[in-house]
Structure 1
């Protein structure tokens, strides 16, 4: 059975760096979807992980109406997505996979934009939720009221002692610039008056 190498395990046991954490308009801490993807690449390498859409469906599509019952041309749309994250070793053997899902709503958008935003948001949120199974580096501790100290500080399952070449010279998160912007899939959308 394949497993993570020693350098990967040591990295995964590190707490998340404050520079990678964002705060939404409600004061909740989270990691952006693009940062999750970048960190998957940092820890596992290009081509050593897959995100597969297991299921995605439109939950509802509702037109916005004026007080006199006419359509405004604006829409509210919600999607639900189930995603699978698979991690492989350097030889392409599956190490693990996780599934998780999310829903996302886009409100008061044009019809196409509402579907686009809700669909992409549901997938992005599902990706972030699957990645937390890899620990604090992927935002697990943030679910404890924004805590940045590691919840997973050690594990009883360790790979063999690292070779000198496997020891990380420094934390892979070092040098990651402060995250400052949120993607459309990660912000609370203000309802615009019709």
Structure 2
């Protein structure tokens, strides 16, 4: 028996919008991630503001130091996420780390601890699906939907995409594109496939009505 509603399950299976993906360079490598506020916002949107909780299971300062007028600290943390879905409570845990540099010891420890808790929260939420950053663990990032800018550029040629994001045909006008999209959605074998076709072409649809 599925704990989540059909709407929640559909949202958890949806692709992560590339507009929410950030990147940073660390040790010579480029890392993609979503920001903590976005992960929490998505949890509120999908689960409901009063249907999930976050609890810090443990935290530990693993390093502290100073350099000139600055104080530094590094923390690790473990966070537990509990989601109430009907009569079931789904529990996931994640671990994370955080570092900081500040002008006072208190600020350094506070910022590092919050950073570690946020990192752990994102890791725990990622186990629920692409909207929480799970798609970023896939090197091909097939679970990431193109950015609005890329979609707008694609939509100029009115490209119709299949459920697995492959271009199937292009059209000269938005009217022809809309007609083909309607036919493609009507031919979808399952409701899940129908929503996948819609998700893949959503930005082009938005561009067609601007």
Deviation, 1:145, is 3.5
Does the 8 A contact of 1:83 with 1:130 survive in 2?
yes
Tell me, yes or no, if structure 1 residue 84 matches structure 2 residue 87.
no
Greater strand fraction, Structure 1 or Structure 2: 2
In the superposition, the TM-score normalised over structure 1's length comes to: 0.67
- Quick check: which has more Rg, 1 or 2? 2
CA RMSD in angstroms comes to: 2.7
Aligned to 1:118: 112
Give structure 1 stretches of 5+ with no counterpart. Answer: 65-71, 154-160, 176-194
Change (3 A) 1:146 1:38: farther
Partner Cα separation in structure 2 for residue 37 and residue 6 of structure 1? 21
Q: Deviations over 1:132-158 (max 9, x none)?
A: 1101111111022471526xx9xxxxx
Aligned to 1:144: 138
Change (3 A) 1:110 1:9: same
Greater helix fraction, Structure 1 or Structure 2: 2
Partner Cα separation in structure 2 for residue 2 and residue 55 of structure 1? 31
Tell me which of 70, 74, 86 is aligned to 1:74: 70
Partner Cα separation in structure 2 for residue 49 and residue 30 of structure 1? 22
Does the 8 A contact of 1:73 with 1:111 survive in 2?
no
Q: Bigger shift: 22-31 or 133-142?
A: 22-31
Give structure 2 stretches of 5+ with no counterpart. Answer: 145-163, 165-189, 204-210
Aligned length: 149
Aligned to 2:122: 128
In the superposition, the TM-score normalised over structure 2's length comes to: 0.62
